[in-house]
């Protein structure tokens, strides 16, 4: 695992030098084998050194995750401020991810290329929704969160759920079942539309501002209880204590308020002439949003839908104080949320040098139609179904022009996407059950040792194994790998039957 500051590291594995301005952050209180799985993957793919925030810290055990969810806000904000204070640029990129539920399967080049392409595509959609208001208010996307199928844990009548844009995913993604409760569970056929905080990436300056506002909201919602209910509380007190201590609820609120105020901006800059032109061109950029559906309820007005809903002041505010540049990874290009989207229904591990139909596991009658690229793949050329961008990124330990087709890649069957990450926020047991399905897991010891024997530097040879940790209120310090990931984790990490006597690992592991 990396142990040097990203400013001191450059990749010799790939043709493109690893950027010095990417900061990888996660939050955790104690050692855990799942942190080690993620950290091995990050190191293998030559990501910058991850920093674990909140190490050995203690929080309110009555809250969600023992209070660790809210630590993602307060302690991360403290760390972001320290980065800025120490001279890092506001344009540096911050990549935050869940320490316990995420695996990586593609290199950092994939993450960054897709991050930029996601922003580019969404900025076009922002222009379509806001028209000239987008340019006048300088609105653009810079921060990308994960996307999920349910608005949770926020109440459905809240701005977090009804004010956000409709999903850009195909309206027939699940055939006629799309956005209905017909599926293997009530949310399985929904398109991804709602914020999931399992991962986020964006510029340091923008992330810092977002977390400043998130902490303000945290301090406010922690005061709500039965005696001091939230203004939007219908009587069940669910918004109290930030929905039981959910960082996701806070970011979802801020995303909803951002979109609420984007609609206010659109209307502020909308003129009578725009209305005349839209009479003849209904899809003109900046025209009224088409109606969307929220669990059967029609969102006929973003600011004041017909159903019972949380209200907010609709006054136009100069200076866009509610604008954060937040958007979502709708197409699972950065990561796939497995909750309500489990294997084998929505995703499976596939080899692209073998017959695609022969590999597919049985799926239910309510599963999504197979993506066109996968469905049309021939047995003579199954690799044609691979997303084209996959071919541009070399992977460690895999050589030759046909390398992507020779390894098992986790694939979204509905979208034909190979995500850079897998977020196991659904059935947690898959973190143990499926670990050996990840293409590099069985090769880890050999790849690590090959790195030591190879000429030149590799992630395994130029860095001391370990993790950087940050305790609350303390300086960052280095924790050796043997302390973070002791030998008792060996079987879980490297496979049943692994023996250091017959398969030694590089020094420090």
User: Band of the pLDDT at 338, cuts 50, 70, 90?
Assistant: very high
Predicted confidence band of residue 241 (pLDDT cuts 50, 70, 90): low
At residue 458, does pLDDT exceed 60?
no
- Indicate if the pLDDT at residue 226 is higher than 90: no
Question: At residue 327, does pLDDT exceed 60?
Answer: yes
237 has a pLDDT exceeding 60: no
Please give the pLDDT value at position 195: 98
Under a CB-based contact definition with an 8 Å cutoff, are residues 350 and 409 in contact? yes
**Per mean pLDDT, which range of 19-23, 89-93, 143-147 is the poorest?**
19-23
Of 137-141, 262-266, 282-286, the least confident:
282-286
466-470 vs 50-53, strand pairing mode: parallel
Q: How many CA atoms lie within 13 A of 412 on its CB side?
A: 24
Q: What average pLDDT does this structure show over 225-232?
A: 73
**Mean per-residue pLDDT of the chain:** 88
Q: Which two tokens stand for residue 3?
A: 């142990």
Burial class from Cβ neighbours inside 10 Å (0-12, 13-18, 19+) for residue 127 reads: middle
Question: How buried is residue 87: exposed, middle or buried, by Cβ count under 10 Å (0-12/13-18/19+)?
Answer: exposed
Top-confidence residue, 17 or 267? 267
CA 380/CA 366 separation, integer angstroms: 29
For residue 70, the model assigns a pLDDT of 66
The alpha-carbon radius of gyration of the chain (Å, integer) is 23
Residue 26 bridge partners (DSSP): 52
Which tens digits make up the pLDDT trace of 145-172? 999 999 999 999 999 999 999 999 999 9
pLDDT in tens, 34-80: 999 999 999 888 888 789 999 987 755 554 444 555 677 989 999 99
> Distance (Å, rounded) from C-alpha 492 to C-alpha 36?
10
pLDDT surpassing 50 at residue 1: no
Query: Region 345-370: what's the mean pLDDT?
Result: 96
- Answer whether 487's CB lies under 8 Å from 500's CB: yes
The per-residue pLDDT for 46 is 84
Spatial contact of 141 and 327, defined as CB atoms under 8 Å apart: yes
The token duo for 417 is 């996407």
pLDDT (0 to 100) of residue 453: 47
Q: Tell the burial category of 480 from Cβ atoms under 10 Å away from its Cβ (0-12, 13-18, 19+).
A: middle
Per-residue pLDDT averaged across 159-187, rounded? Answer: 97
Contact 509, 445 (CB under 8 A): no
pLDDT given at position 137: 98
User: What pLDDT is attached to residue 213?
Assistant: 96
- The pLDDT value recorded for residue 66 is 42
Q: Does position 309 have pLDDT exceeding 50, yes or no?
A: yes
pTM, two decimal places: 0.92
Task: Look at residue 460 and tell me whether its pLDDT is greater than 90.
Answer: no
């Amino acid at each position: 695992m990396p142990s040097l500051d990203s400013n001191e590291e450059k990749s010799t594995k790939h043709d493109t030098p690893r950027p010095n301005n990417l900061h990888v952050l996660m939050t955790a209180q104690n050692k855990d084998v799942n942190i080690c799985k993620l950290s091995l993957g990050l190191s293998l793919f030559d990501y910058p050194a991850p920093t674990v925030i909140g190490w050995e810290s203690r929080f309110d055990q009555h809250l969600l995750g023992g209070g660790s969810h809210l630590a993602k806000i307060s302690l991360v904000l403290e760390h972001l401020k320290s980065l800025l204070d120490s001279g890092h640029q506001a344009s540096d990129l911050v990549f935050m991810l869940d320490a316990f539920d995420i695996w990586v399967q593609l290199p950092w080049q994939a993450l960054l290329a897709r991050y930029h392409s996601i922003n580019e595509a969404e900025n076009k959609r922002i222009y379509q929704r806001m028209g000239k208001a987008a340019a006048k208010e300088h609105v653009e996307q810079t921060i990308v969160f994960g996307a999920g199928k349910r608005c949770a844990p926020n109440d459905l009548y809240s701005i977090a759920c009804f004010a956000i844009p409709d999903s850009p995913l195909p309206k027939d993604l699940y055939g006629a079942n799309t956005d209905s409760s017909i599926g293997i569970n009530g949310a399985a056929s929904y398109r991804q539309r709602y914020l999931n905080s399992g991962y986020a990436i964006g510029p340091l300056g923008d992330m810092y501002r977002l977390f400043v506002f998130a902490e303000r909201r945290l301090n406010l919602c922690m005061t709500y209880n039965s005696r001091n209910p939230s203004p939007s509380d219908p009587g069940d007190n669910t918004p109290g204590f930030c929905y039981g201590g959910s960082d996701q609820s806070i970011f979802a609120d801020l995303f909803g308020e951002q979109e609420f105020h984007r609609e206010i901006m659109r209307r502020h800059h909308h003129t009578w002439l725009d209305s005349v032109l839209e009479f003849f061109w209904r899809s003109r950029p900046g025209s009224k949003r088409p109606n969307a559906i929220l669990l059967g309820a029609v969102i006929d007005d973003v600011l004041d839908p017909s159903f019972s809903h949380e209200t907010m002041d609709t006054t136009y505010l100069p200076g866009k104080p509610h604008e954060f540049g937040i958007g979502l990874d709708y197409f699972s290009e950065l990561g796939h949320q497995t909750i309500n989207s489990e294997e084998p229904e929505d995703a499976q591990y596939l080899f692209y040098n073998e017959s695609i139909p022969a590999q597919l596991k049985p799926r239910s009658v309510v599963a999504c139609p197979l993506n066109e690229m996968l469905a049309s793949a021939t047995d003579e050329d199954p690799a044609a179904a691979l997303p084209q961008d996959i071919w541009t990124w070399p992977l460690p330990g895999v050589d030759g022009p046909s390398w992507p087709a020779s390894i098992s890649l986790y694939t979204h069957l509905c979208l034909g996407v190979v995500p850079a990450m897998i977020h196991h926020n659904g059935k947690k047991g898959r973190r143990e059950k499926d670990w050996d399905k990840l293409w590099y897991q069985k090769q880890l010891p050999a790849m690590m040792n090959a790195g030591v024997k190879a000429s030149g530097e590799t992630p395994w040879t130029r860095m001391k194994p370990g993790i950087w940790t940050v305790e609350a209120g303390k300086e960052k310090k280095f924790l050796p790998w043997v302390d973070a990931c002791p030998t008792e984790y060996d079987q879980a990490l490297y496979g049943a039957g692994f023996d250091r006597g017959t398969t030694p690992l590089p020094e420090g592991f």
